[in-house]
Structure 1
Amino acid sequence: MDTKPLILLAAGGTGGHLFPAEALGVELIRRGYRVRLATDARALRYSGLFTREMIDVVPSETVRSRNPLSLARTMLMLGYGTAVAFSLIRRLKPAALVGFGGYPTLPPLLAAKLCGVPSVIHEANAVLGRANRLLARYASAIATSLPGVLDRDPALSAKTTTVGTPMRPAILAAAAVSYVPPQTSEPFRLLVVGGSQGARVMSDVVPGAIERLEPSLWQRLVLTQQVREEDMARVRGIYDRLKIRCELAPFFTDLPARLASNHLVVSRSGAGTVAELAAIGRPSILVPLPGSIDQDQFANAGVLAAAGGALRIAQAEFTPDRLASEISALAGEPARLATMAASARGAGRLDAAERLADLVAKVAGI
């Protein structure tokens, strides 16, 4: 029987939660610990560190509506998930549990509290998410990616440590690629990504912005854009008419390398995206997803904008004219691009996995 300490990681089944969990898992294994992942069924689709044998699926549910019946159903599912997690923790006897946000972390973290197992929650956004807000009082320690997240709450700030966002190996490799700004006679490489929720607005706005650029910039432009299948024909039609060199796809499996190889990135501002832009050090135009309760993407983009590494444009102001103006200005100012890249890089933390592993070991007493 393996007697090395076990650290149980809990994360929602999306990349924004799973990637930092994977990065921490890599570091913990390097230090000689065992790791397992408690998550929802979505995580079974992801490849990487966590093989099927390392994953424990815990039932969960997200609050989707204020409807009393929907809320009751959610509470019942979370209660059932907590019972499953309680049994799991009693069987595995982990030295500590680390949660990475999302409602699927609620049952494992609550069960850890009931079992007397120390826990750490990690918040990747510039504001505390709803699940982490519920768990914060029960956690032994809180780790944040960005400074100042809990400065207004003395009770919680006392047990908070800023560690950054743990980065998977592909991001660390991309971070080693130096940024070389394009001179005004050289190709200008533009990457446009938006994630599953953001790709539609990029398809609606970016082609019109490219159309408004000066023809001399069309000749320099090398465009890579994430485009949903249903938008592909109309977006490609515009770029073909303008004779733009472009690569369009619904999803890029090698996104870290693409971030490193481009001169400017236009994107949403999810926590993972902002952390990766900072770690790699690339200039960006960030368009926060509107309408979220916590306005987390607006706050995330604000951190990078305040550091000088990004331009933040609210979606209501994200028009073809505005975007064309910003792209034209940046393409003509290589020194400004270089400064933005350095500023973004200065806001990044490449040692976040090590910092978080140190905190976990301290909390676990191992």
Structure 2
Amino acid sequence: MTARILLAAGGTGGHLFPAEALAGALLGRGFAVDLVTDERGTGFAGKLASVPVHRIASGGIAGKGVTTRARNYGRLMLGFLQSRGLLKRLKPTVAVGFGGYPSLPPILAAQWGKIRTVVHEQNAVAGRANRVLMKRANRVALSFEHVRFTEVLPAAKKIVTGNPVRAAVSEIAAYAAPSAGGPVNLLVFGGSQGARVFGRVTPPAIALLPEELRNRLKLVQQVRREDVEDVTKAYRDMGLDAELSPFFKDMPARYAWAHLVVCRSGASSVAEIEACGRPALMIPLPNSIDDHQRANARSLGEKGAGWVLDENDASPQALAQRLTAILTDREGLQRAAENARGLARSDAAERLADVVESVAGEAR
């Protein structure tokens, strides 16, 4: 009988991307795989059609008002009851949680039902849901060597696997710094909240760059749909070659093209920067829960694999100064790229699959 693994993940890409990578590795090893997420989750967008997707009720607690918290506690309880029924039907050997509140009901239900569990933490600060779940998990897989709030766990329970990324990202060719006097390719992205602040700050910062550098600049930038017209005009007025879009479906190709990435520092962004070996100027989301984006960014910055600029300090003048210093230092760019790739764990999906397979073996 084929062993079944249940993956539980929040509905955002930061949780679903590593779940997708693990699912692919487990399918290749002959396991049956199911995914459970909340109503937002879109599964694996048809990439792994053999993975059934189950949706449960869920809701966030941290940072919410009293009324919303009360409602979402009720939704989490409903999700727990739904998960218990799902587990009785599917009978998984192991349940793997990837964080986010939607992972809480199914992994708690699995632990309640004596099903072995693995928790994967993508960030340098353990998330609220994972902090609850990792206490009773059989293994806790980490993306960073040091993860806040996991210090109390027994060393034998923890293993550093890295954060799985899409194969197309880790297969990108080695970095080459811009040639003297040649084009300088700048990629700017950051999700909806990153796109908002970057759309406001980046155009005036670009206008303040030295003319010689600005004339060499090629720009690809994620911009909110409602801001595309204004940002397009700003760049057109300064004669800049810019490609703007609310969303890019071909991010691996964009990474491969970039000489410098300006971005947020969510777990998936950091893992992909490492995997493809691209230097990055990271502007952490200032109101991320437990300030985990700042911790993620520092994990690269402290190892010479990128630079960190706080959003509160990211005036057009400050951003222009940082961009000028970084983009005119070819050796610094090359060094940061090599350091970033040196941090990558290209086999993270297989390492995580090893952990799950080991725990599945213990259940027999």
Deviations along 1:240-298, one digit per CA (max 9) or x if unpaired, are: 01111110000001112211211000001101100100111100100000023310000
Deviations along 1:37-90, one digit per CA (max 9) or x if unpaired, are: 011122237514343861011211111555444332212111111111111111
Shift of 1:136: 1.4
The aligned counterpart of 1:5 is 3
Moved more, 332-341 or 101-110: 332-341
* Residues 1:76 and 2:58 aligned together: no
The aligned counterpart of 1:329 is 325
The aligned counterpart of 1:218 is 214
The aligned counterpart of 1:146 is 144
The aligned counterpart of 1:259 is 255
Cα distance in 2 for partners of 1:257, 1:156 equals 41
What letter corresponds to residue 111 of structure 1 in structure 2?
A: A
8 Å contact kept, 2:184–2:259: yes
The aligned counterpart of 1:200 is 196
Shift of 1:237: 1.0
What letter corresponds to residue 70 of structure 1 in structure 2?
A: T
The aligned counterpart of 2:162 is 164
**What are the residue-to-residue correspondences of 1:238-249 with 2, within 5 Å?**
238-249=234-245
Select the residue among 114, 130, 133 that pairs with 1:132.
130
CA separation of 1:210 and 1:31: change in aligned 2, threshold 3 A: same
Select the residue among 163, 178, 183 that pairs with 1:182.
178
The aligned counterpart of 1:14 is 12
Select the residue among 304, 308, 330 that pairs with 2:304.
308
Select the residue among 88, 91, 96 that pairs with 1:90.
88
Cα distance in 2 for partners of 1:343, 1:5 equals 39
8 Å contact kept, 2:126–2:149: no
What's the TM-score, normalizing by structure 1? 0.95
Moved more, 119-128 or 290-299: 290-299
Cα distance in 2 for partners of 1:244, 1:48 equals 37
What letter corresponds to residue 201 of structure 2 in structure 1?
A: V
Cα distance in 1 for partners of 2:176, 2:208 equals 26
8 Å contact kept, 2:125–2:149: no
Q: Which runs of 5+ in 1 are unaligned?
A: none
The aligned counterpart of 2:293 is 297
CA RMSD of aligned residues (A): 1.6
Q: Which runs of 5+ in 2 are unaligned?
A: none
The aligned counterpart of 2:117 is 119
8 Å contact kept, 2:142–2:158: yes
Deviations along 1:165-188, one digit per CA (max 9) or x if unpaired, are: 0112222332xx111111221100
What letter corresponds to residue 185 of structure 2 in structure 1?
A: R
**What are the residue-to-residue correspondences of 1:28-67 with 2, within 5 Å?**
28-44=26-42, 47-51=45-49, 54-63=52-61, 67=65
Deviations along 1:285-342, one digit per CA (max 9) or x if unpaired, are: 0000002331000000000101101110111111111211122222222111100100
Secondary structure in structure 2 of the residue aligned to 1:365: helix
* Residues 1:317 and 2:325 aligned together: no
What's the TM-score, normalizing by structure 2? 0.95
The aligned counterpart of 1:358 is 354
Cα distance in 2 for partners of 1:98, 1:293 equals 22
The aligned counterpart of 1:27 is 25
Cα distance in 1 for partners of 2:214, 2:69 equals 52
What is the aligned-residue identity percentage? 45
Cα distance in 2 for partners of 1:289, 1:222 equals 25
What letter corresponds to residue 167 of structure 2 in structure 1?
A: P
What letter corresponds to residue 353 of structure 1 in structure 2?
A: A
**What are the residue-to-residue correspondences of 1:93-108 with 2, within 5 Å?**
93-108=91-106
Deviations along 1:138-174, one digit per CA (max 9) or x if unpaired, are: 2111011001115863335441111100112222332
